[in-house]
Structure 1
Amino acid sequence: MEQKVVLVTGGSSGIGKSIGIYLKSKGYKVYGTTRNLTNYSNFKEFDLLELDVRNPDSVKRSVTELIAKEGRVDVLVNNAGIGITGPIEETPHEEILKAFDTNFNGPLHVSKAVLPYMRKQGSGLIINITSIAGYMGLPYRGIYSASKGALELVTEALRMETKDFGIHFTNLAPGDFATNIAAGRYHAPVSEKSPYREPYGNTLKMMDEHVESGKDPMLVARMVFKIINTKNPKVHYKVGEFMQKISLILKKILPDKVYEKLLLNHYKL
């Protein structure tokens, strides 16, 4: 059986690195991506390509390089993403645009680059890593929620548009996992003069604690492996703590204001 070729964006750290390591251990030919290869000269876990998901030219060059090396791409895992927190009123709009450029536009750029090759092959799988946060508007994380929620919806459309080509799209929404996302995200400063100072400061502290105590990202990697080996993947998958997943069920069945009250109580707002 021919070795499947997998491309994982944002593969140099966090969830993406875990996915790459796990899939390589299962016999896949894995390529990860990073924005700056010079920062990872000692990276040995799997092959890395230099790719900036925000730059269509960079994406095209890297995908062309991958095809030149392997002749095909069987699975794309759109994992690259950034965090962003803050009161929406006080979040600079350029930071909002940056978040959408990475979390929403980025996966679209890479998907568009690989789709012609997958269509030619008559097969392919694209897994968009979203977030459980994308299913609800979370206080002080609303922009992140919106960017991941937008990716969830566009994936639903892409599934239907590409089904006749033997290509499958699916979403995988993780909860909180122990990664470096908190260190790398943009967060609006907690200003002493801000009317949001106390509630935002407390919520930011709670969010950081959730990430620090999060589960092993290898759980996400195992779910990716399961999806790859599913003949007809579902539209949506979730992986995370029981309470994080049950919160999505509650959102479906509870009245909006009751669910909102649960979130306010959770964040002590």
Structure 2
Amino acid sequence: MSKVVLITGGSSGIGKSIGEFLHQKGFTVYGTSRNPERITNSVFPLLTLDVTQVSTIQTAVTEIIARSGRIDVVINNAGVGITGPLEEIPTKEIKNNFETNFFGPIEVMKAVLPQMRAQKSGLIINITSIAGYMGLPYRSVYSASKGALELITEALRMEVKLFGIQITNVAPGDFATNIASGRYHAPVLSGSAYEKVYGQMLRTMDEHVDSGSDPLDMAVAVYQIIQTSKPKVHYKVGAFMQKFSIVLKRILPDKLYEKMLMNHYKL
């Protein structure tokens, strides 16, 4: 019997690549989108789900169980980017980002855990970010929301292990997707103290995404995790230097690491 997989944010980017790869491998895949009727080229079913609307999460989970009788794997992939000087990002946008990147995945996990507990099995894969391992300039809110998801996964993993449920994090680096187009950019304000530096940073961040890795790398990594009987707590997928930056943060003095980041971003 093929495993039943739920992928949030499965209509584009990393989520779509993972879904297509798992579909090819014979998994029963359900993706989600806030507006699935706009997507006409998906090779797997897309259900309506907005991670900021709990009712849509419950409806989608109920529909999958009604169709397939179980949920074996959940991939919490839906997320949004946000950039800007913290001082100039509207508080409303900061809260919106946490609603999608942090509280949304929590609500998805709450919705599927009863079914997985009844099955005595299940795997939840939270897609975080290498940016969640460090505070990046002008990406402070994104780093914080993804870092928070990393930590809550560590805790929840221990809480549900006795039920036969596994939870893990997968932190991607920069991938060539359309995430930049959906990212909230605080506007570059004329006369702002941050105008020149932030404007240059925006161009640099978009270049990093455009030259990023193939999303297929994430799909292969997720497939390998699903095939693993005892997944690790954390996985990192991306360019060598992006992954190595996490190692450097662990071993370098804080100020030296900060200086390295500032040099990298030309600050």
- Please report how far the alpha carbon of residue 199 of structure 1 lies from its aligned counterpart in structure 2 after TM superposition: 1.0
Counterpart of 1:149 in structure 2 is 147
Displacement of 1:201 after TM fit?
A: 0.9
2:162 matched to which residue of 1?
A: 164
1:223-244 CA-partner distances (Å, limit 9, x unpaired)? 0001001110000000000000
| Runs of 4+ more than 6 Å apart | none
Correspondence 1:13 to 2:51? no
- What is the rounded CA distance, in whole Å, between the counterparts of 1:158 and 1:24 in structure 2? 28
Per-residue deviation, 1:43 = 2.8
1:58 maps to 56
| 1:75-111 CA-partner distances (Å, limit 9, x unpaired) | 0000000000000000000000000000001100111
Between the aligned partners of 1:187 and 1:143, the Cα distance in structure 2 is: 11
Secondary structure in structure 2 of the residue aligned to 1:237: strand
Give the match's secondary structure for 2:102.
helix
**What are the ranges of 5 or more consecutive residues in structure 2 without an aligned counterpart?**
none
Match of 1:215, SS state, is coil
What is the CA deviation profile of residues 118-143 of structure 1, one whole-angstrom value per residue up to 9, with x for unaligned ones? 00000000000000000000000000
Q: What is residue 187 of structure 1 aligned with on the other side?
A: 185
Tell me, yes or no, if the aligned pair for 2:86 and 2:140 is still in contact at 8 Å: yes
1:118-157 → structure 2 map (5 Å cutoff): 118-157=116-155
Identity of aligned residues (%): 66
Alignment of 1:192-203 (within 5 A): 192-203=190-201
Q: Distance in 2 between matches of 1:137 and 1:201?
A: 19
The equivalent of 2:97 in structure 1 is 99
Is it true that 1:173 corresponds to 2:171 in the alignment?
yes
Distance 2:93 2:194 in 1: 18
Alignment-derived partner of residue 46 in structure 1 = 44
The CA RMSD measured in Å over matched residues stands at 0.6
Q: Distance in 1 between matches of 2:239 and 2:195?
A: 29
Please give the TM-score of this superposition, normalised by the length of structure 2.
0.99
Q: Which residue of 1 aligns with 2:224?
A: 226
Amino acid at match of 2:234: H
Matched with 1:29 is: 28
CA distance in 2, matches of 1:104, 1:44: 26
Q: Answer yes or no: is 1:215 the counterpart of 2:213.
A: yes
TM (normalized to structure 1)? 0.98
Partner AA of 1:138 in structure 2: L
Tell me which amino acid in the other structure corresponds to 1:67: I
2:229 aligned counterpart, secondary structure = coil
Q: Hey, what's the Cα distance between the residues in 2 that align with 1:169 and 1:16? A: 18
Distance 1:228 1:17 in 2: 17
Q: Tell me, which stretches of 5 or more residues in structure 1 are unaligned? A: none
Q: Deviations over 1:170-207 (max 9, x none)?
A: 00000000000000110001111110011111111110
> How far off its partner does 1:4 sit?
0.3
Contact 2:167 2:233 in 1 (8 A): yes
Q: 1:116 — aligned with what?
A: 114
Describe the SS at the equivalent of 1:89. Answer: helix
